[in-house]
Chain A
Amino acid sequence: MPRVLLIEDDPSVREGVELGLRRRGHEVRAAATGEAGLAALTEFRPDLMLLDLMLPGMNGVQVCRRVRERSQLPIIMLTARGDDFDVVIGLEAGADDYIVKPARTEVIEARISAVLRRITPSGQGRTAIEVHGDLAVDRAGLSVSKSGRNVALAPSELKLLLHLSAAPEQVFSRQQLLEHVWEHSFHGDARLVDACVARLRGKIEDEAGSPRYIQTLRGFGYRFGPL
């Protein structure tokens, strides 16, 4: 069972979520501040971080940026609906997904497992490494390199790239990507996709302004290539 680091300042939420997840078998470490959470990171070695955006002192977005400087630890933000601006900033800072509070434990757990779910290779007889231009995608090793240099991708970014590159030149709508990559309902928040695409382009494209790999089709969605 995954190890979850929960950073939440409100005691009742912290305790409730911790209790719910622990009942479902997760190993949970709870921290009341961002600083405490970051300190627990190296020692606890979590598989995933649940991060409240509104924190005293160092806030959730800052924590998110700090984590992304060093690792691609899956990060799910806890937000309240209406804090739309914070959600966008959080996603730009590198969070993989977000959960709107209040949420039942089953929802939280479903989101956790969705983020952690490994992308299973879609075709059995395929070669492990696909090459698209300068990009080499290792579906088995779940790693991506560009011009021979490894590119560190957050889980959502990696899954998005794998999903798109599995069917080059096929157009996926945002809603479809939300459903398949994030396992959200069809009517999820399309900004999740846009933010993730922006981050991914920043890492793999030569020029983020004129993308080559992840292309936008106005009014329809995104596709991989054509190169």
Chain B
Amino acid sequence: MTSGPGRPRRLRLRLPRGSSRADGRPRSRAFGLRTRLVFAFLLVAAVSAGATSALTYRDARNALLKTAQDTAVSSFRDQVQQTGWGLPIQREGMEEVLRDIARKGKPRPWVVFAEYGSVRASSGENPVSTVITPELRRAAHAHPNGSFERVVRDGVPYLTIAMPTLFRTGPEGRLPSGLVLYAVMRMTDEQLNVDALLLAARDGALPGLAVALIPGLLAARSVLRPVRELRKAAQSMGSGRLDTRIAVRGSDELADLARTFNETAGKLEGSVRELREAEARARRFASDVSHELRTPLAGMLAVTEVLDEDAGRLDSDTARAVRLVSTETGKLAVLVEDLMEISRFDARAAELNSDEVDLAETIGKTLQHRHWTDGRVRTELPSGIRARLDPRRFDIVIANLVGNALRHGDAPVTVSLRSETRSSGPPVLIVQVTDSGPGIRPEVLPHIFDRFYKADAARTRSAGSGLGLAITQENVRLHGGTVRAGNLPAGGAVFTVEIPLHVEEADG
């Protein structure tokens, strides 16, 4: 057993608070409010920018393609209308005409194909195109109208135009000549333009997104600022400043939250104030009672000797009564003094009157003064250990522990002294008081330092005031130390006092 019952729990309670403070504020969590707000903002910006870009892009692309197509179709028609043919059309010489049309192609040269009856010819190498679809061919034969179709072959877009031809038979009459001309144009330039458009749309959307980041962050900031204030206020309240309030701005949900926080804080502050006042009243009452008891006790205690001396001359009943009064007055005086001492600790009015002392000598004097030198108390006191402490309070600590051991344990009681260097903090002085009794029962251990705690319910009053160990603990704490109770493996209680040694900073 290395630690007492109360201490480690308090340590455990403090650690998380300490560690979270040490880490500082966790600025950006993985999916913190800020991240989510900025993300949402960016999302909206991305969707609107994307949609706008996409629609603009589509319109622009269609306009671009339409222009190219319309130019191609009308110029193809114009070119075809320039050509003259005899009917039936002869295979010979056809390619020359087609090449001529192909050269004049707008916006770019075409490959021109001709179909007449079973005659097939082209301006290119193959008389029959692989790009022209049966649908286009069928449409050209079914309706004497110009028509076009965009075809993608092996990733290359082509514009294919079908142009059926008529000829004039009379002033008004027109007859299909049976000749259908096809133009095939690669749309690579258009593709480049469209790709450029796409790039432009993307390049417009991305900076838009980046720009949207700034209002996003600002919006997140404006939302987060009240949240941050709230956290600071809560932290401040947690550290004990109960009068913390938040400035309420506006009338949004966060303002409601701030208002609620303020109301709660107000109520909490009120409750705590009431509790503190009640506690202070209780303490003042105990202190006042002790004070008031002390004056009559001072008078009574001064005359107990008179009673004791004269008791022998009285009849036996009166003598017993007188002696009882005398004894109890003494006990009452001790009790009142102890109560006064505890009140001072509670009121934090206890002062440390430190002096630098030799510890072996100090403990020796304590035992000697109490006449515990007859072998009931053994000592292991190495000389030369000096410490700065309040001699009167240290005397009370040792006397109470040894007295307690003698009262509740069995002799011999051992008082041992040593100093120990710790890895962190100053070296500590360790005083152990062990007895040879049965030890402290486990259920009693957690309460051993409680005020007026009776280890044995049957024993309503011990020789002490019931405050001895509580006062001991307060005195050790006043020195910045700890006192723990435990049992030895072989039986017997052991009380361990640890007080940090401050030797160098001594001052007269």
Give chain A's interface residues, CB within 8 Å of chain B. Answer: 10, 12-17, 19-20, 23, 80-82, 84, 101-106, 108, 173-175, 185-191, 194, 216, 218-220
Given A19-B306, A81-B340: A186 touches B391 (CB 8 Å cut-off): yes
Given A101-B294, A186-B391: A16 touches B300 (CB 8 Å cut-off): yes
Inter-chain contact A194/B508, CB cutoff 8 Å: yes
Contact residues in A for B306 (Cβ distance below 8 Å): 19-20, 23, 105
| Cα separation A80 to B298 with both chains bound (whole Å) | 10
Q: Taking A187-B394, A189-B392 as given, write out 12 further A-B residue pairs in contact, using a Cβ cutoff of 8 Å, ordered by the A residue number.
A: A10-B295, A13-B295, A17-B299, A19-B303, A20-B302, A82-B340, A82-B349, A102-B301, A105-B302, A105-B303, A108-B302, A173-B357
| Cα separation A13 to B299 with both chains bound (whole Å) | 4
Inter-chain contact B507/A218, CB cutoff 8 Å: yes
Inter-chain contact A105/B305, CB cutoff 8 Å: yes
- For the side of the interface on B, what is the size category? 35 or more
Q: Cβ of B154 < 8 Å from any Cβ of A?
A: no
Contact residues in A for B507 (Cβ distance below 8 Å): 218
Closest chain B CB from A170 CB (angstroms) = 16
Inter-chain contact B508/A218, CB cutoff 8 Å: yes
Closest chain B CB from A109 CB (angstroms) = 10
Contact with A along B487-508 (1 / 0, CB 8 A): 0000000000000000100111
Question: Can you sample 28 A-B contacts with CB below 8 Å?
Answer: A10-B299, A12-B296, A12-B298, A12-B299, A15-B299, A17-B299, A80-B294, A81-B340, A81-B341, A82-B344, A102-B297, A102-B302, A104-B302, A105-B303, A105-B305, A106-B305, A173-B358, A175-B365, A186-B362, A186-B369, A186-B391, A187-B366, A187-B369, A187-B394, A187-B395, A189-B353, A219-B388, A219-B506
Contact residues in B for A14 (Cβ distance below 8 Å): 299
Main secondary structure of the interface of B (DSSP, over half): helix
Contact residues in B for A81 (Cβ distance below 8 Å): 337, 340-341
Q: Cβ of B304 < 8 Å from any Cβ of A?
A: yes
Q: Cβ of B356 < 8 Å from any Cβ of A?
A: yes
Given A19-B306, A23-B305, A219-B356: A188 touches B298 (CB 8 Å cut-off): no
Inter-chain contact B298/A13, CB cutoff 8 Å: yes
Q: Cβ of B23 < 8 Å from any Cβ of A?
A: no
| Cα separation A213 to B381 with both chains bound (whole Å) | 35
| Residue from B304, B351, B361 in contact with A104 in the complex, judged by beta carbons closer than 8 Å | B304
Contact residues in A for B297 (Cβ distance below 8 Å): 102
| Cα separation A186 to B361 with both chains bound (whole Å) | 10
| Residue from A101, A108, A175 in contact with B362 in the complex, judged by beta carbons closer than 8 Å | A175
Inter-chain contact B301/A104, CB cutoff 8 Å: yes
